[in-house]
Structure 1
Amino acid sequence: MRVLLADDDAVSRKMVAAMLRKWGYDVFAVSSGDEAWAVLQGRDAPRLAVLDWVMPGLDGVELCRKVRREMPGKDRYFYLILLTAKTSREEIVAGLEAGADDYMVKPFDPSELHVRVGIGKRILSLHEELVATQEALRFQATRDALTGVYNRGAALKRLEEELDRARRECKPLSVLMMDIDHFKKINDTYGHLVGDTVLKETVRRIQGVVRSYDVVGRFGGEEFVVILPNADGDIAVRVAERIRAAVSAYPVTDGAVSVSVTLSAGVAAAGTAPTVDALIQAADEALYQAKRTGRNRVCTAPTLCAA
């Protein structure tokens, strides 16, 4: 684990750095608060810092206050230990109120420093585990469990975000609504496990066609939505046709079972300023037109504009 050590006293800095290295830490030592601040702003900055109270430029307390005020990110916490010769209760309280997690009064016992730095390391490890758990829960809450793409609620939220961006930047936006043809027959004939394989493979083929920043979501059952930022109606139709061709290019296999799959698609372009509901409804109506007129085809809705 990397540790930032900031102390303007060369002898003290060398001594503490030697202790930390002996205990297995990778030490980055500086001689002023200004240098420490520059290090902490780096992308891969040490997350644990041992800071002398009295230093040129920013002192330890000012540095703690600056870190808490200007670097409050929940995903990256800094554990700050103050080293000080100050012993009054008021001064120690002031240091803790400024944002220090812990403090040690000089001269200190090396074993105490070892324990306190170890506590900081343990707290940072627990924080990283918490952040990872929260990210996993957030991912699960926004993803379809079977296919791994966005679920309906998350896809609609992304559409709202992309529509707002398109308005601000005066750029086009299109939506595809797609439905696997005769999916109920696939389930009835081959069973739901094969149906699940068809859904997952269909998503894989869709993702193989769209751009990395396009949004793919499962809208429900065998229906999918694709959000195409910076794509007008003509581009969206071409993308939909490539998806349709990719899905039907060769059968989906599951063991000894081979299933031919096609899909129908409806395309709606945002125009100047439609609502999310209007855009989805237009793409849905175009999808139903594709279904009514023979399936395995792409139909388009009229370009939507503000009322």
Structure 2
Amino acid sequence: MKILLADDEPIARTMLEHWLVGWGYEVTLARDGEAALQALKDDPELRLLVVDWVMPKKDGIEVCKAIRNGPQEPYVYVVLLTAKDDKSDIIAGLDAGADDYLVKPCNPLELKVRLRAGRRVIELQEQLVKARESLRFEAMHDSLTGLLNRGAVLEQLTKELLRASRHGAPVALLMGDLDHFKTINDTHGHVAGDAVLRETARRLKAGVRAYDSVGRLGGEEFIAVLPECDAKTGLAVAQRLCRSLAESPTTVGGKPIAQSISIGVAATDQYGPARAEELVRAADAALYRAKHAGRSRALLAIDKEFEAVKEISQTIPASLPAE
């Protein structure tokens, strides 16, 4: 594990470095407080710090305060070394942000076990960060497909529309629905149906740009938010996605299962400034036409669908259907 040793006194620094290397640490040296803070900034893997109180430029107390006033992740565990042994000094050091405090000259075994305790704290903090990231991911993503879930993708649509209104760039919305998915479930079973949903999600994600947002609304319904994309380009993307789904089946248990998708497209360069629910309704109307036109195709929302959306928006509160 990497460790930063900050001490301006050459003999003490050499002795401490010898101990730390012998205990298996990869040691970075700093001769003053400013150098210590720069080393932490340059290398985020430095999570353990042994720092002397009395140093030039910035002392150990100032270093502790700077660390605690900066980014809280990744957490840096600080052991403060000093010849000061008054209780008020110990309190001042801990209050400045040190995690532990050792009086010089320190016992090497005591320093070793205190650093071991510091490593445990760091490991626990890393576990907490991973758990929090996992919870955040689960809160925003569909558990079956790994795509954004309904709430997250509609929130992203709202953000992109706000950004577009500021910068004048178009946003295209694709609403997709797998064709005859109930038949797939009834014929091949729900395990196969889940496999088709996962493969559909994979192909949809692979068929758009890295900064586009793809989500699952629920069941066999999918949505894609394409920023800086006009209606013509959005329709071309949707047609490409339809071909991607129809051209090759999903293989489950050695058996091919054919699938296709119908997609409705609506874009702000057709409609003008729009709320998320208005664009969703327009794309959904185009999807409905695509289904009735024979499925496995993409259609663009037309003027009368946008006009119907405007009429609805004027008569009912702005809200999307509940999940």
In structure 2, how many angstroms separate the alpha carbons of the residues matched to 1:256 and 1:24? 52
Q: Deviations over 1:208-265 (max 9, x none)?
A: 2111221111111101001112111111111101000100002222235332211110
More displaced, 224-233 or 131-140? 131-140
Alignment counterpart, residue 183 of structure 1, candidates 181, 184, 206: 181
AA in 2 matched with 1:205: R
Map 1:78-89 to 2 at 5 A.
Answer: 78-89=76-87
Map 1:1-307 to 2 at 5 A.
Answer: 1-73=1-73, 76-271=74-269, 272-302=272-302
Shift of 1:273: 3.0
Is the Cα–Cα contact under 8 Å of residues 148 and 214 in structure 2 kept in the other structure? Answer: yes
More displaced, 235-244 or 196-205? 196-205
In structure 1, how many angstroms separate the alpha carbons of the residues matched to 2:302 and 2:116? 64
RMSD: 1.9
Corresponding residue pairs, total: 305
Q: TM-score, normalised by structure 2?
A: 0.89
**Structure 2 regions of 5+ residues with no counterpart?**
315-323
The sequence identity of aligned pairs, in percent, is 46
Q: TM-score, normalised by structure 1?
A: 0.94
1:294 is paired with a residue of what secondary structure? coil
Is the Cα–Cα contact under 8 Å of residues 173 and 229 in structure 1 kept in the other structure? Answer: yes
In structure 1, how many angstroms separate the alpha carbons of the residues matched to 2:54 and 2:273? 58
In structure 2, how many angstroms separate the alpha carbons of the residues matched to 1:226 and 1:148? 14
Q: Deviations over 1:259-297 (max 9, x none)?
A: 221111011113453112112122111111211222111
2:42 is paired with a residue of what secondary structure? coil
AA in 2 matched with 1:156: L
**Structure 1 regions of 5+ residues with no counterpart?**
none
In structure 2, how many angstroms separate the alpha carbons of the residues matched to 1:125 and 1:273? 49
Q: Deviations over 1:31-78 (max 9, x none)?
A: 0001001011124340110111111111110111011112233xx111
1:184 is paired with a residue of what secondary structure? helix
Shift of 1:98: 1.1
In structure 2, how many angstroms separate the alpha carbons of the residues matched to 1:169 and 1:46? 41
More displaced, 129-138 or 266-275? 266-275
Distance verdict in 2 for CA 1:46–1:227, change over 3 Å: same
2:94 is paired with a residue of what secondary structure? helix
AA in 2 matched with 1:174: A
Shift of 1:160: 2.3
Distance verdict in 2 for CA 1:89–1:235, change over 3 Å: same
Is the Cα–Cα contact under 8 Å of residues 33 and 60 in structure 2 kept in the other structure? Answer: yes
In structure 2, how many angstroms separate the alpha carbons of the residues matched to 1:32 and 1:264? 65
1:148 is paired with a residue of what secondary structure? coil
- Find runs of 4+ consecutive structure 1 residues off by over 3 angstroms: 302-307
More displaced, 252-261 or 152-161? 252-261
AA in 2 matched with 1:267: V
Q: Deviations over 1:165-194 (max 9, x none)?
A: 323333221110000111112212222222
Q: Deviations over 1:122-179 (max 9, x none)?
A: 1101111111122122222222121111111121222223223323333221110000
In structure 1, how many angstroms separate the alpha carbons of the residues matched to 2:106 and 2:166? 58
